[in-house]
Amino acid sequence: MQKEMWPAGTLLSPVPPALVSCGEGEEANIITIGWTGIINSKPPMTYISVRPERHSYKIIEKTGEFVINLAPASICRAVDLCGVVSGKDGDKFKRSGLTPQKSNKVSCPQIAECPVSLECKVTDKIDLGSHTMFMARIECVNVGKEFVDEKGKLNTEKMDLTAYVHGAYYSLGKSLGTFGFSVKKKKKR
């Protein structure tokens, strides 16, 4: 494949367009975040990068808590809305039609329509330039019961999660294999 060189940029895709909920009560808010991921396994750690001028930035900075909610394709319009309107102009839960749901380990709500919600507590904050990275310990993971089979295995295909690729939203397709399938020995008959 012939490639051409572009200037340095943020073309790492796909990323999850995560709905990050923060604050509580009247202050509860949702922000759509593309810059998120896992940074450690034990203890389980994650991060979100937020522009300091965003309404949610001050809330997260003050409370030290947030919830990363993974969005299914069915709420893609709400995901986009929460990324382009500000919580300082009104209640994004009401405007988007999303439902706040009590969390287990943090005071901010999780989002009922999301099949997975990671409750997080900030451990560090790093100013990087356009964004500030909030590193956080994952306190617990909440998974919709309908996405767990009778053996306790997570069925992510049923979740129909959303991905964000260079300005566009996509529904994730079928599984192509599981971790280690490329070296797994075939069963003898």
Per-residue DSSP letters for 20-73?
EEE--GGG-EEEEESSEEEEETTTTEEEEEE-TTSHHHHHHHHH-EEEEEEPBG
Q: pLDDT tens across 133-178, in order?
A: 999 999 999 999 999 999 999 998 899 999 999 899 999 877 888 8
Q: What is the pLDDT of residue 29?
A: 97
- Mention every residue, 6+ apart, whose C-beta is less than 8 A from residue 123: 45, 135, 136, 137
Q: What is the pLDDT of residue 174?
A: 79
Q: What is the pLDDT of residue 182?
A: 87
Cis preceding linkage at 14, omega within 30: yes
Both tokens of residue 145?
A: 């019961």
Q: What is the pLDDT of residue 175?
A: 80
Q: What is the pLDDT of residue 74?
A: 96
Place of tokens 């566009």: 168
Q: What is the pLDDT of residue 186?
A: 76
| pLDDT of 112 higher than 80 | yes
Output the CA–CA distances (angstroms, integers) from residue 9 to 20, 39, 157, in the order listed.
Answer: 24, 21, 31
Q: What is the pLDDT of residue 173?
A: 77
As a whole number of angstroms, the distance between CA 184 and CA 171 comes to: 28
Q: Strands of the chain (E only): list them.
A: 18-22, 29-33, 36-40, 45-50, 65-70, 100-101, 110-111, 116-127, 132-143, 162-165, 168-171
Both tokens of residue 173?
A: 């397709």
Q: What is the pLDDT of residue 10?
A: 86
CA dihedral 183→163→167→46, nearest 10 degrees, is -90
Q: pLDDT tens across 89-107, in order?
A: 999 999 999 999 999 999 9
Q: Is 107 helix (H, G, I), strand (E, B) or coil?
A: coil
Both tokens of residue 148?
A: 């767990």
Report all structural domains of the chain as residue ranges with CATH numbers, in order of start.
Answer: 18-171 (2.30.110.10)
Percent of the chain's residues with pLDDT above 70: 99
| pLDDT of 11 higher than 90 | no
Q: What confidence category does residue 40 fall into, taking pLDDT thresholds of 50, 70 and 90?
A: very high
Both tokens of residue 169?
A: 């939203």
- Mean pLDDT for 52-68 is 97
Q: What is the pLDDT of residue 187?
A: 74
